[in-house]
Structure 1
Amino acid sequence: MSRWIRVQTSIFDHEVFAAEPFSEREAWLWLISKAAWKDTVHRIGASVMPVPAGSLFVTIREMQAAWKWTSTRRVHQFLELLSSQNMIETCSETGKTRVTICNYSKYQNAETHSETPEGAEAKQKRNTKDTSTPDTNISSLRSDVCPEAEKSAPASPTVIELPTVNGDMVSISEADVSEWSEAFPAVNVRQQLAAMRSWLNANPKNRKTRKGMKRFAVSWLTRDQDRGGGGRQHPQSQAPPQKTAFQLHQEAFAKELDKTINGNDRYDDRPDNVVDLAATDYRYSGTPSPVRR
């Protein structure tokens, strides 16, 4: 038999209970308790976002701190589990994660102060009737209005997480790595992703937003590709380093001097050992001297 109880949301901050890490069940109840009970708005930066009943805006870091979990990865995995069971929907387009509790209005339709006594009494009778009806279907917490989630392909495994300016984490999937490895063949993408995470951890003020993180990653990989992939290419396949104008002039001077002294054949017998250097100006003028062949 399915029964209902009413619990104050302040239970999570009550001084009687020890400050211990949440179980997954407590984390689920925390999400329900933090969801808006009516349509409202939430400000994110310079934008004011609508928050429908049953939804909340929160960062991964905030959930990790509230639940006292040791890593953001566990938070991600728990949210993915709830999503796969159609218990929540998530959206992360604004720098924060919007979590929507599926069937919130169906199972959390509590009385409001605006109800008349007659309305409250009628509602109490309905609730009594509902709660006295046996219900052995545990899946009632799942959504029955988002069937397309069940048809969607499984999410690509996460390879690494990159921290954003808001303390949130952006997951880079195996599909992203495959795409970038094809686009940047000279780059060890996994190695560079690890370097990106180290750089972002060491430079928190220069971190990117969730929306701009993949653009940052692509720019990073593009620069590494232009540098030849950080030495991953075989030495014979790399282009020779570009020489400066002064180096080219020095090489031209050496060739001219060698030909003046030794002629076309460096080992032929010369009648004399005197070389007239005054006939040619070998001073560097900013452009390489022409080389006679």
Structure 2
Amino acid sequence: MDGWVSIYRELTEGWLWEDKPFSKGQAWIDLIILANYKDAKISLGNEIILVKRGSFITSELKLMERWGWSKTKVRSFLNQLQNDEKIVKKTDRKKTTITLVNYGLYQDIETNKEPKKDHKKTSERPRKDTTNKGIIESNIHISMDPQFQNFIEKKRELLSKTMRDENET
């Protein structure tokens, strides 16, 4: 399955999320949700620590309680994720820092921006003529996923057929 979905952190506040023990998939999603979406400074004891985007500070005990797992299961799962190069785990006496290796793939800043404030107004405004009058074709080539390219070609063919049918009537 290709593609992605945005997941709001509030998802963890409902009754569905509170059912324990978590599955491994649910625990993985939870790690993505726990990760900082931007760099942030936190206070830990007498230290101020910069926690980078895609990372967060926790402990195995906190994850045990959160997921309803044993310490062995939490440690084993985190080691599996680290061996699969999905996370980097750094542990010292005070904390465990978890960094999601490909966090940008899960939460890309550019595609997750909220809609413009006037989005509703914009979508309700009367639309101007959006035909392709005056557009000059150019030889711009953009490489893209073959499946996506195939999808685009099929949509283009369907649109062309629909436009021809409308012009004939």
| Cα displacement string for residues 139-170 of structure 1 (whole angstroms, at most 9, x for unaligned residues) | xxxxxxxxxxxxxxxxxxxxxxxxxxxxxxxx
Match of 1:10, as an amino acid?
E
**CA spacing shift, 1:112–1:21, aligned 2, 3 Å:** same
Q: Are 1:42 and 1:57, in contact at CA under 8 Å, matched by a contact in 2?
A: no
Distance 1:17 1:30 in 2: 10
- After superposition, where does 1:136-285 map in structure 2 within 5 Å? none
Q: Are 1:59 and 1:97, in contact at CA under 8 Å, matched by a contact in 2?
A: yes
**CA spacing shift, 1:15–1:47, aligned 2, 3 Å:** same
**CA spacing shift, 1:52–1:94, aligned 2, 3 Å:** farther
Q: Are 2:6 and 2:107, in contact at CA under 8 Å, matched by a contact in 1?
A: no
**CA spacing shift, 1:90–1:30, aligned 2, 3 Å:** same
Q: Are 2:9 and 2:33, in contact at CA under 8 Å, matched by a contact in 1?
A: yes
- After superposition, where does 1:87-166 map in structure 2 within 5 Å? 87-93=86-92, 95-110=94-109, 111-113=112-114, 133=148
**CA spacing shift, 1:25–1:115, aligned 2, 3 Å:** same
Partner of 1:83: 82
Shift of 1:73: 1.1
Partner of 1:270: none
What TM-score do you get using the length of structure 2 for normalisation? Answer: 0.63
Distance 2:88 2:29 in 1: 15
Question: Gaps (5+ residues) in structure 2?
Answer: 119-143, 150-169
RMSD of Structure 2 on Structure 1 (CA): 2.6
- After superposition, where does 1:27-46 map in structure 2 within 5 Å? 27-46=27-46
SS at match of 1:77: helix
Distance 1:99 1:22 in 2: 18
| Cα displacement string for residues 54-103 of structure 1 (whole angstroms, at most 9, x for unaligned residues) | 0000011000000011x211111100000000000011135110000011
1:49 aligns with 2:49: yes
SS at match of 1:75: helix
Once the two structures are aligned, what percentage of the paired residues are identical?
A: 26
Partner of 2:165: none
Shift of 1:8: 1.7
Partner of 2:6: 6
Distance 2:95 2:23 in 1: 23
Q: Are 2:4 and 2:106, in contact at CA under 8 Å, matched by a contact in 1?
A: no
Partner of 2:21: 21
SS at match of 2:29: helix
Q: Are 1:44 and 1:94, in contact at CA under 8 Å, matched by a contact in 2?
A: no
**CA spacing shift, 1:17–1:57, aligned 2, 3 Å:** closer
**CA spacing shift, 1:19–1:106, aligned 2, 3 Å:** closer
Match of 2:53, as an amino acid?
A
Distance 2:113 2:46 in 1: 32
Distance 1:18 1:45 in 2: 29
| Cα displacement string for residues 124-147 of structure 1 (whole angstroms, at most 9, x for unaligned residues) | xxxxx77x639xxxxxxxxxxxxx
Partner of 2:61: 61
Q: Are 1:2 and 1:133, in contact at CA under 8 Å, matched by a contact in 2?
A: no
SS at match of 1:133: helix
Distance 2:117 2:90 in 1: 37
Q: Which has the higher contact order (CA 8 A, sep 6+)?
A: 2
- Pick the structure with greater CA Rg: 1
Paired residues, number: 121
